[in-house]
Amino acid sequence: MAQLQQGGPDEKEKTTALKDLLSRIDLDELMKKDEPPLEFPDTLEGFEYIFNEKGQLRHIKTGEPFVFNYREDLHRWNQKRYEALGEIITKYIYELLQNECHLKKVTLPVDAIETEPKSFIFMSEDALVNPDKLLVLIHGNGVVRAGQWARRLIINEDLDSGTQIPYIKRAIEEGYGVIVLNPNENYIEVEKTKAQIQLSSDISDEPAEKRERKDKIQKETKKRRDFYEKYRNPQKEKETMQIYIRMIQREAEVKNRVTAVALTDSVHNVWHQEVGKTIREWMRENCCNWVSSSEPLDTSVESMLPDCPRVSAGTERHELTSWKSFPSVFKFFSEAVKAKNSLVKPTPTRRSNRIKYEEF
């Protein structure tokens, strides 16, 4: 290390020459030549995969699980292939929600005009009229969509552990109405027009010298960002923008009508969000978070945050917490309904209430 730092003129000349060479390389064109086209099948059969009778994704010919490194030394291409498969699986899960779980697809906002961006959710026929109870399923952040807990589990494990389908079927059996939300589908992505691209770089009313300095900084920042983007996704040619779908907040109505909330290894933080004292109190009384832990299922887990009780999900794997806590979540809901009817709050953290996952 010291020798490199103390290198003489020869090392400096080599470094300068190397920098000059790199500056003249068209990284975009170079990577396009090294990377195969990002063209993938649009069906499971096209990928030569299918879900077997156990809900496991297997190769049609070999029966082997999904292989991520389909082409060695082409990580970006393999990742794009994985993402393309993930999009097909998302549509496959939507079909299962409708055909196997008998949920209907509902467009949101319900009063959207024809040209307005829209999303959708899934509902059971009795979701809005069930007189007793309603289960609302909300997945976590990321690439997952309605009906999914974790794409990784769906691809590498099975449909039961990776999707919300077991929750939906259990809820329907127990007389719940069901709504499956789709919060990650909250915007559409469209290609920018030339006018929009030009508008974003229009000249402001600032003094010429200040504008020139700012332009120089922005150009350098854009150059570094473009360098990373070309490495991450060298074949992306179009500049896009996100148009968000309308949202509504109904704090008072939610607190009055929601009996219990089960969280599975939630990463929320009440101090980082606009959460008042009344919401924190409501969460402590009505919520329980099954977190990743080496402790047995339902064991109380200490927390520094004063938001809601935390108990072990019986697994240290984040993506498995929804599946492993499945029986305890429904027990928690059942107790909450009984407690509401008797005006007594449930106690979700008592170890005496523990249900062993293997016994379910």
What is the block-wise mean pLDDT of the chain (360 residues), using blocks of 10 residues?
49 69 56 73 95 97 94 88 96 98 95 90 97 95 95 97 98 97 86 61 58 72 64 59 79 87 85 70 91 96 83 96 97 92 58 37
Tell whether 312 is covered by a domain. yes
Using CB atoms within 10 A of its CB, is residue 149 exposed (0-12), middle (13-18) or buried (19+)?
A: buried
Which residues 6+ apart lie within 8 Å of 251 measured at CB?
A: 279
Q: Which pLDDT belongs to residue 78?
A: 92
244 φ, ψ (degrees, to nearest 5): -80, 150
Q: Which pLDDT belongs to residue 146?
A: 97
Q: Can you read off the two tokens belonging to residue 193?
A: 């027009």
Tell whether 168 is covered by a domain. no
Total domains, the chain: 1
Using CB atoms within 10 A of its CB, is residue 133 exposed (0-12), middle (13-18) or buried (19+)?
A: middle
Kindly provide the b/e burial profile for residues 77-114, where b requires at least 16 CB atoms within 10 angstroms of the residue's own CB: bbebbbebbbebbbebbbebbeeebebeeeebeeeeee
Which residues 6+ apart lie within 8 Å of 280 measured at CB?
A: 270, 306, 307
Q: Which pLDDT belongs to residue 194?
A: 61
The predicted-structure confidence for 219-264, as pLDDT tens digits, reads as follows 777 666 666 555 555 555 567 778 888 876 778 888 888 999 999 9
Supply the range of the domain harboring residue 342. 260-360
Tell whether 290 is covered by a domain. yes
Helix, coil or strand: residue 248: coil
* Cβ-based neighbour number of residue 226 at 10 Å: 12
β-bridge pairing 49-51 and 104-108: unpaired
Tell whether 295 is covered by a domain. yes
Residue 146 · residue 97 · CB < 8 Å? yes
Tell whether 276 is covered by a domain. yes
